[in-house]
Amino acid sequence: MISAGWTPGLTELLPVYADRLARTRLDTIESMMVYFGDSGEWSDSALRDAAWFIHQAGLTGAGYSRKGEWTRAKTSEAFRKANLGDPVGSRRFAMFSMPETREVGRRLKDYDVFTYSYLSGLRNALAPMLIALVPLPERLSVRLLRNVFRRNRLPVDGFVVAQIIGRSQGRPHGVNVQIVYRDRRDYWINGLVQATAARTVAGSKGVQPGVHFLADAVDPIAFMAELRKAGVEQVENFYEPRE
């Protein structure tokens, strides 16, 4: 299993879970919006990994999964403001995807999948761009990324939200699933996902053999149930969206 934690980990598991849930409630699905944000205290090792990945990936155009195919986004689609309700509220987001979330979009071929990261301000957009373009000293890259997380102050310390729009009995309906963590429990939730994944693999129940991302390796319904038992704050609702 090559991803198990908060991000990557829950950032791609929650959309797969939301998809499974929506298929039991909706007749058709038209699109999914995934939003995530984090202001936790990442370790230097994690930030070095993130800086390496950003520099290796370079500056790539914003895009989304259009029925399983990677598609270049329009400028109007790359940035958006969304009200996610309590406790996150109304925030600005920039289109962003990791290999794990791209793989989720590639597999959900029935509809379009858009993934966005919380953007607290212009400085938080410039830091990753600089790391992507310039071979900066490792220590400077770590400091720039740490400041990004510290500026991402929110009512919660981290969140992942998946919003699915579709139709039920001919009427538009939506499914909303949200996970948050609070009170500086960033290491707790990251470690909890890893420990739950390890326990799942050790028990060999509902685990796919081979090498996988977390969302492909485990049964998302059963895995989320285990996380809720352990105290993860997760809510979901079925609603009729406004026009």
**Domain extents in the chain:** 6-239
* CATH architecture of the domain covering 6-239: 2-Layer Sandwich (3.30)
Ramachandran area for residue 210 (φ above 0: left; ψ -120 to 50: alpha; else beta): left
In the predicted model, residues of the chain with pLDDT beneath 50 are: none
Q: Which two tokens stand for residue 235?
A: 């809510």
SS (H, E, C) the chain: CCCCCHHHHHHHHHHHHHHHHHHHHCCEEEEEEEEEEECCCCCHHHHHHHHHHHHHHCCCCCEEEECCEEEECCHHHHEEEEECCCCCCEEEEEECCCHHHHHHHHHCCCCEEEEEEECCCHHHHHHHHHHHHCCCCHHHHHHHHHHHHHHCCCCCCEEEEEEEEEEECCEEEEEEEEEEECCCCHHHHHHHHHHHHHHHHHHCCCCCCCCCCHHHHCCHHHHHHHHHHCCCEEEEEEECCCC
Q: Give pTM, 2 decimals.
A: 0.92
**What pLDDT score does 3 carry?**
84
At 205 the pLDDT is 66
